[in-house]
A and B are shown apart, each in its own frame.
Chain A
Amino acid sequence: MQRIMVCIKRVVDYNVRVRVKPDGSGVMLDGVKMSVNPFDEIALEEALRIKERTGNLEVLAVSIGVADTQQQLRTALAMGADRAILVQTDAAIEPLTAAQTLLALAKKESPDLIFLGKQAIDDDANQTGQMLAAMWERPQATYASKVELSGGKAQVTREVDAGLETIEVDLPAVITVDLRLNEPRYVKLPDIMKAKKKPLEVVTSLDALGISAGQLIKTVKTEPPAQRQKGVIVKDVAELVAVLKKKGLL
């Protein structure tokens, strides 16, 4: 194994409470803290652990987005990625376009494994890894909670609705990761300094990779979700039972 590619998305930080713009044109993003998509952080951590176990391989972090996405790639480099590529664009990127762009990078870089988070916490689409695997004509192992590599194969335990499922895939393959695969490391200050010297290549447009950013799914309107009515606080268990019986729930 020579190279693992990890795909990283810049998203609104996990702790930010997202609000809808009053005119319904989207969500408020001005001045909001941006971070590496938490699932992608887990993806990167897994790649780094594989490198630490097996040695002698390159961990390549890639992203697609605005110029400031370099910040998230620097975080990836500080965590331990060896090299980074940003495909810079101001366009809104749909999962299909992201997958096409990542495919172009995969063809250029020929990774043995591609790791992604199972979904991004902004659009919650849960598509990019599977689309990339389809177009790359390679296996996919989604929702990974355990990854074991041996002899050109990966045995992946997946978190599925019924419990856990294990599949075996030939490499190269795409693996999308779930929450419990690992706990990502904290970045230390010296690593941040070191990361500044690591190579970060900027591809200045999607065009340069032969990709056109189509808006195939148009967002017409953005609204806040329906709010639930605030309920009643009961004083003791007897009253709780009475209320639930009255509602016909017990």
Chain B
Amino acid sequence: MHKVLIIGEHDGKTLNPATAKCVTCAKGIPDGEISILLLGADTAGVAAQAAALGGVKRVVRVDRPENAHPLAAIFAPQIIALAADYSHLLGPSTSFGKDLMPRVAGLLGVPQVSDLMAVESAYRFRRPIYAGNAIVTVEADPARKLVATVRVASFEATGAGGSAAIESKATSAALPSHTRYVGARSGSTDRPDLQTASKVVSGGRALGSAENFKILFKFADKIGAAVGASRAAVDAGYAPNEMQVGQTGKIISPEMYIAIGISGAIQHLTGIKDARTIVAINKDAEAPIFEVADVGLVGDLFQIVPELERLIGS
């Protein structure tokens, strides 16, 4: 049997949907038994959410004040202390998991497989390299603990229907004092979360200014979409970093992705490959985005977007 431990991501109140996607990935491991580990100041609420995920056997809570913020240097030694019985340690390919899991692997002295996009057997996986220009099949050594991150855009979220046992654990792991949380500026809005939204409207450099991005926000609100941006738009200061979609930003898999004024650099396309339908609006008919778009419209976004909004309303 393979004992899989998923490191759950949460903000103290809500379990991040990336965790439910990791569960789906873990279910692909043959003969697996899935547990979720939650570290936090008070994980009672999120533990209940995790326990409800279908197919999860056990939820392990480690509550202590030092866990109020997800610092890799603080979390990793506790994970090691609890990991002895597990063959697989999985975390999401979010900024949380990407920061944390290699520190866990480093402490264990084992390699990590990043961005699992498919599970072929307990130790054989597919993952993207070169910004998704190539897909490799890799085999890890079964004699070692497997540490991996899960490319969340490749998996559907596991639904409810579970009733896992919840247990609280304490660890005697010594925690370093060399890393301290200072604060955060969250771009949270009332709009759907970019990483999990079913519709995403995204803007590029052609928007021309932060002011003009409001056109996108207005349109997105009308259709209930999240808003993203290309790297060029973020670099130009039109949109904040958390909106960036692409190789080094967020990798997303919405039902519909509307790329507005985005030329479609390969690094951007990496982030949207798994979108069900890609719509492109661009004034350059030769833009690479049209190579991958399911539906394209060539024209001036400043005319098209307001008209689109109007027609949808009618």
Contact = CB atoms under 8 A, between A and B. Distances in A.
A237 B115 CA distance: 38
A139 B179 contact: yes
Given A17-B266, A225-B273, A228-B278, A95 B111 contact: yes
Interface of B: 11, 71-73, 76, 94-96, 98-107, 109-115, 124, 128-141, 144, 176, 178-188, 195, 199, 223, 231, 234-235, 240-242, 247-248, 250, 255-256, 266, 273, 277-279, 285, 290-298, 304, 307-308, 311-312
Interface string A48-84: 0000000000000000000000000000000000000
A158 to B, nearest CB: 8
B257 to A, nearest CB: 10
Given A134-B107, A220-B138, A224-B135, A161 B99 contact: no
Given A126-B114, A162-B242, A237-B297, A131 B102 contact: yes
A233 B293 CA distance: 9
A167 B295 contact: no
- Residue among B104, B110, B308 facing the most chain A CB atoms (10 A cut-off): B308
B106 A132 contact: yes
18 contacts: A19-B133, A27-B133, A121-B130, A127-B102, A137-B176, A139-B73, A142-B99, A160-B96, A160-B242, A164-B242, A166-B183, A219-B138, A225-B132, A225-B273, A228-B294, A233-B295, A240-B279, A240-B297
A51 B274 CA distance: 43
A241 B235 contact: no
Given A17-B266, A139-B73, A180-B234, A249 B98 contact: no
B184 A240 contact: no
Contacts of A35: none
Given A135-B106, A217-B138, A237-B304, A125 B131 contact: no
B76 A134 contact: yes
Nearest to B113: A217
A189 interface: no
Contacts of B128: 124, 225
A232 interface: yes
Interface residues of A, number: 80
A234 B266 CA distance: 23
A178 to B, nearest CB: 7
Counting from the closest, the 10 A-B pairs by CB-CB distance are A134-B106, A131-B106, A130-B102, A231-B294, A127-B102, A166-B182, A160-B95, A170-B178, A221-B137, A163-B187
Given A167-B179, A222-B135, A234 B115 contact: no
Most chain A CB neighbours (cut-off 10 Å) among B106, B248, B279, B285? B106
Contact of B134 (A18, A125, A130, A170): A18
A145 B234 CA distance: 13
Nearest to A173: B178
A220 to B, nearest CB: 5
Contacts of A101: none
A233 B72 contact: no
B235 A225 contact: no
A225 to B, nearest CB: 5
Contact of B248 (A96, A178, A217, A247): A178
A123 interface: yes
B248 A241 contact: no
Contacts of A247: 277
Given A232-B294, A249-B255, A222 B136 contact: yes
Nearest to A103: B106
Given A127-B112, A163-B188, A166-B183, 19 more contacts: A20-B133, A95-B102, A96-B106, A119-B248, A133-B103, A139-B176, A159-B241, A160-B95, A164-B185, A168-B179, A217-B113, A218-B139, A219-B136, A219-B137, A224-B135, A225-B273, A229-B294, A240-B279, A249-B255
A180 B134 contact: no
Contacts of A131: 102-103, 105-106, 112
Nearest to B124: A220
Contact of B182 (A140, A168, A231, A236): A168
Contact of A233 (B111, B277, B290): B290
B251 to A, nearest CB: 10
Contact of A123 (B129, B139, B290): B129
Contact of B131 (A124, A220, A232): A124
B180 A143 contact: no
A180 B178 contact: no
Contact of B105 (A127, A167, A240): A127
Contacts of A109: none
Contacts of A180: 234-235, 241
